[in-house]
Chain A
Amino acid sequence: MNRQATKTQTHKERSTPPSAHGEPAVWLTGSALITCLALVVVTMFIIASNGLVTLWPRPIERITLRSGEILLGLPMGSEQFTPAEQDSQRIAELVAAGDLEQAGEDGTRTRLRFRLGNRDIGRDAFVWVPEYEIVSRDRPEDAVLVERDEWGIFIGVPEAVIVRTRSTESASSQFNPAGTLSTEFGTGPALREVVGESDGIRTVDSAVRIAQGPAETLETYSEIHGSFAKRRARIRALQKSEIPSVQDKLAAIDWRVRRAQMDTDIKPSRVTVPVWIGVAMSSVGLGAVGVGLLRRKHVTPLIAAVRTLCVLLAIAGAMFAVLERPIARGGVSTERLAEVVAQADAQRQDLRAQGDGLLAEIRTLEAADETVRLEIIDPGLSRFAPAEQSRPDTPMRLSQARRLIQSNTLGFSGRVRLYLTRWWDFLSRPPGESPGDGGVFPVIVGTVVLTLLLTVTVVPLGVVAAIYLREYASQGIVTSAIRIAINNLAGVPSIVYGMFGLGFFCYTLGGYVDAGPGEAAIGGMPWWTLIVTLILVFALAAALSAVGADRGPVKGGNGLWSKVARSVSLWSWLGCAGLAGYLIWTTPYFGGFFAEKLPQQPTFGTRGILWAALTLALLTLPVVIVATEEAISAVPGSMREGSLGCGASRWQTIRRIVLPAAMPGVLTGAILAMARGAGEVAPLMLVGAVNLAPTLPVSGDAPFLHGDRTFMHLGFHIYNLGFQSPDAEAARPLVWTTTLLLVAIVLGLNLFAMHIRSRLPSRGGGI
């Protein structure tokens, strides 16, 4: 009791300072997070809202201007603007005449944006129309939007369907320039003209209007359009795939003949067959001995040296056997060459006949296609949509109108259906002639194939490198330097990677694959000196690696001599590897796999998807290495010790304990690499991406993945659309849509990878 009283007397008031409560920090950190999230959300929202509305069907408005001009277009929005000086006087007149209201407080007026289409008859793609110039606006029911494969959209009023027929009659009968004719598609008034007369036969061309006026035209179109679309598709298939395949086969025949000709020039090998067989067999034998010794558990240093020597000699012998193949009798003989040429000629004839047949089929189909035409009139210019820009007097073919949309009569469900159909077209069709036409299917394929190739290359390489760096390399100054270098790789501008990829992968490596090292001589020395040097250096390396063998922690076991021996042994291994590389690089007997196609058509010696994937793999390598290293070092040492205590070797511990535990972190690194690689554009511009690729990089015929083909890439396509297309304004909406697509694909790949990662049971340690 007494003590308590004393306590209350001496109790002092204490208050914690406000900074100790940490409340300012809560608001600060929270706001920073909200800002970041907001940035991401707003970006995504802008992309999505702009990208999604591009394909939404809009109504067609007809505007009559004070000048009398009539425009048919799609309304695209409005904005406030300040009229130019020269217009302000006119505006003042209009206001004074009572035709126009006063401007708002800020003196600005509204102007409306319209998309016009009809580029091939001279209209701009987009116009801004000031509101004060507009006399009337309405939405006519018979206005249609025509989706075409070339020259973009056409907006007009359908007028007629015209069928052209050719008939003959006797020259003596009276020629009737007009009349009613019936064709297979319908009956109607005709205009006839004579095109030729001979042998008493008059040839007459008739143009029959089987439908007149918007309603009839639309009805007739929807009836007969299907067969025309099918025919057009067949023509396209013939042009785009069957004829090119015949051409490819013809080219392949040419290459075969050329290859046979080149093969007649091969010099016979300097190595005779018995010597070659001896070397091959002894290397097999040595390899067997070495591998057998590898399985022994208890080795003396002598046995270790012998074992290494056997394995290395076996490898050297195998390399020699492969690189210095004895080629009997100088390659292809002249008789064989004549045979090949004759065979080729016969095949060429067959193929040419085939090609001629295909061309004839195309001509027939096109002739049939030409017969039916569609007249769609632009009321403002009083002109119809032409078949080609250079032939403005011929109305467009019916098959050129891929879709006729009566925009103002579509209900909501009609719009939704059209919207989805347009998306499907966008995703599944190949692109058209100018950027913005057609779809992006090959672009998607190219992007996805590139990203998958890149991931498959970079993840194993990076993970293995990171394992060595973290587990095997002694953590000293050299390892730290390597780590710093790898981190700096991440900071190199990506276009530099493109230059490197072009120079090294495409021209150097690709050139080697195509045509070999050429006649690179080995310095004028007898061919066997290099082999002998290689063997001697190997032997030295093997001996020293055994002598300098680690004697464990036993004191005095690591004297200066064994340190020197170990370092000499390491350098001789490296020297051997370098020598071996040089041998492979300069062997005069490798003539390349595609030398016959040079110099017109390099296969791997030019841009292609394989080199592009390797370049991007190099670019994203630091990401994978750093992420894997972090994941590996997060595995607790107690687990490693436990495994080693059970008698596991270092590699078994890595494979069974460390790597599985680090797998979530490794996959994180792989996801980051994939996302980064999918979005890089600059290096691709140099090493493989093109505006319009003739083929897909994957196909049904072997070898299924064609690494030498160029490809299209979404990022590159966006750049193309935005900056390289002749009509940037018209392409702008598609830029947003393609961006949305790219974001969606990268997001999709990430989600897929995260799904795989989440199926791994979460381990202790690692993110």
Chain B
Amino acid sequence: MSAAMNSARLSGPWSGETVRSDEDQSVLAAIRRGERIKATVHDAVHSEQHVLNIEDFSLWYGTSQALFDVSMPIPRGKVTALLGPSGCGKSTLLRSVNRLNDLIDSVSVEGEITLNGSSLYGPRVDVIDLRKRLGMVFQKPNPFPMSIFENVVYPLRIDGVRNKGILRDACEQALRGAALWDEVKDRLAKPALGLSGGQQQRLCIARAIVSDPEVLLLDEPCSALDPIATQRVEELISEISERYSVLIVTHNMQQAARVSQYTAFMYLGHLVEYGPTQTIFQAPALRETEQYVTGRFG
């Protein structure tokens, strides 16, 4: 373990120094005590092209702070997993990207998130337009009580597209992209609620990709699914990650290991460590990370 630690290059105030295990113990303890810590971000992350850049982002629910100066670039064309125990702020961070947290009255934020260089929290940003450029899939599949076809083309309809031909083509493309086309192509007019759980989740993924978003945000997409459906969705995620950059929140370590190329470990609103999945799982810089990914706590 120490050899792995020695070979990793770290950035920040820790650069150039190997970290001793007893100091590592204090990272999580320090977080629990309320101290600010600097996240451990591996250099490999910086060498990628970034689609999203989160800079010193903090979020408050009223007076209690939920995210503490999170800074992480999200690479383009790759799957990035947010990992961590319950309550660590990964879902909050995800929802901050497409500003769904705006719906909660007591939320206030500081810091910056940029998408392809343009700020998401600037004063002139059109939130509706922003959400169209990001697709989101939620934990529990939430297809609308309409037909399968209407579900998939919903983002296009609200954009004003009425041409039946365009809608049909887009629907087929999205359903193929979500690996659902063969199963539902004969029953596009049937209600979406008649599909099984796994199919509904894939439908939601199809709905999310139909308007060609720049980033796909997935909030624990498989936690409500059975193992077979989970496997299919995970395969799907790997397939589509080349076209869309994917940011996935999960509490399932094995899933993160299977699906993502980059993993970020968060704890109580702080980003603790962030780097290539291989490194995080096999040679993490911090002992706490290693303890978490091997299942010794959380």
Q: List the interface of chain A (C-beta within 8 A of B).
A: 297-300, 474, 551-555, 557, 636, 638-639, 641-649, 652, 656-657, 660-661, 761, 763-764
Contacts and interface: CB of A to CB of B under 8 A. Distances in A.
Contacts of B60: 555
A298 B127 CA distance: 11
B246 to A, nearest CB: 15
B81 to A, nearest CB: 20
A642 B201 CA distance: 12
A636 B143 CA distance: 12
B38 interface: no
A647 B129 contact: yes
Interface stretch (B46-54, B106-114, B228-236): B106-114
Contact of B140 (A298, A638, A661): A638
A552 B127 contact: yes
Contacts of A555: 60, 108-110
B98 A656 contact: no
A561 to B, nearest CB: 15
Interface stretch (B69-77, B152-160, B178-186, B287-295): B152-160
A646 B155 contact: yes
A298 B135 CA distance: 21
Interface stretch (B13-21, B24-32, B118-126, B250-258): B118-126
Please provide the 9 A-B residue pairs with the shortest distance between their CB atoms, ordered closest to farther: A647-B132, A645-B136, A647-B131, A642-B142, A638-B142, A646-B155, A555-B108, A648-B158, A763-B145
Contacts of A297: 126, 129
A665 B127 CA distance: 31
Contact of B124 (A298, A643, A661): A298
B101 interface: yes
B121 A646 contact: no
B158 A298 contact: no
B68 interface: no
A554 B158 contact: no
A644 B109 CA distance: 20
Contacts of A298: 124, 126
B145 A649 contact: no
Contact of A648 (B105, B121, B128): B128
A93 to B, nearest CB: 85
Given A297-B129, A642-B142, 15 more contacts: A474-B105, A551-B123, A552-B127, A553-B101, A553-B121, A636-B142, A641-B103, A642-B144, A642-B204, A644-B103, A644-B131, A646-B207, A647-B155, A647-B211, A648-B158
B189 interface: no
B124 A300 contact: yes
B102 interface: yes
B128 A649 contact: yes
Contacts of A636: 142
Interface in B236-284: none
Contact of A643 (B121, B123, B125, B154): B154
Nearest to B106: A553
Contacts of A552: 99, 102, 121, 123, 125, 127
B100 interface: yes
A552 B110 CA distance: 11
Contacts of B142: 636, 638-639, 641-642
Contacts of A660: 145
B100 A553 contact: no
Contacts of A764: 145, 193
A629 B208 CA distance: 30
A553 B108 contact: yes
Contacts of B138: 638, 641-642, 645
Most buried by B among A553, A643, A644: A553
A645 B108 contact: no
Contacts of A647: 128-133, 155, 158-159, 211
Contacts of B98: 645
A638 B204 CA distance: 12
Contacts of B107: 553
Nearest to A640: B103
A641 B219 CA distance: 13
B191 interface: yes
Most buried by A among B129, B130, B154, B157: B154
Contacts of B140: 638
B145 A656 contact: no
Contact of A646 (B99, B105, B124, B158): B158
A557 B124 CA distance: 13
Given A553-B101, A641-B138, A646 B154 contact: yes
8 contacts: A297-B129, A298-B124, A552-B99, A552-B121, A553-B102, A644-B131, A646-B155, A647-B131
A519 B142 CA distance: 62
Given A300-B124, A652-B158, A554 B108 contact: yes
Contacts of B124: 298-300
Contact of A644 (B100, B125, B191, B208): B100
Contacts of B126: 297-298
B102 A656 contact: no
B133 to A, nearest CB: 8
Interface in B182-203: 191, 193
A643 B136 CA distance: 10
Contacts of B128: 647-649
Contacts of B131: 644-647
A644 B131 CA distance: 8
Contacts of B208: 645-646
B109 A554 contact: yes
A763 B143 CA distance: 12
Contacts of B136: 645-646
Nearest to A645: B136
Contacts of A661: 145
A648 B160 CA distance: 11
Nearest to B128: A649
A660 to B, nearest CB: 8
Nearest to A635: B145
B158 A656 contact: yes
A39 B124 CA distance: 64
Contacts of A300: 124
Contacts of B204: 642
A434 B204 CA distance: 70
B149 to A, nearest CB: 14
A649 B145 CA distance: 18
A660 B144 CA distance: 11
B119 to A, nearest CB: 10
B216 to A, nearest CB: 11
B108 A641 contact: no
A645 B130 CA distance: 10
B111 to A, nearest CB: 9
B99 to A, nearest CB: 8
Most buried by B among A642, A644, A652, A661: A642
A293 to B, nearest CB: 15
Interface string B158-186: 11000000000000000000000000000
Nearest to A647: B132
Nearest to B98: A645
Given A641-B138, A646-B158, A553 B145 contact: no
Contacts of B109: 553-555
A355 to B, nearest CB: 60
Most buried by A among B124, B125, B130, B143: B124
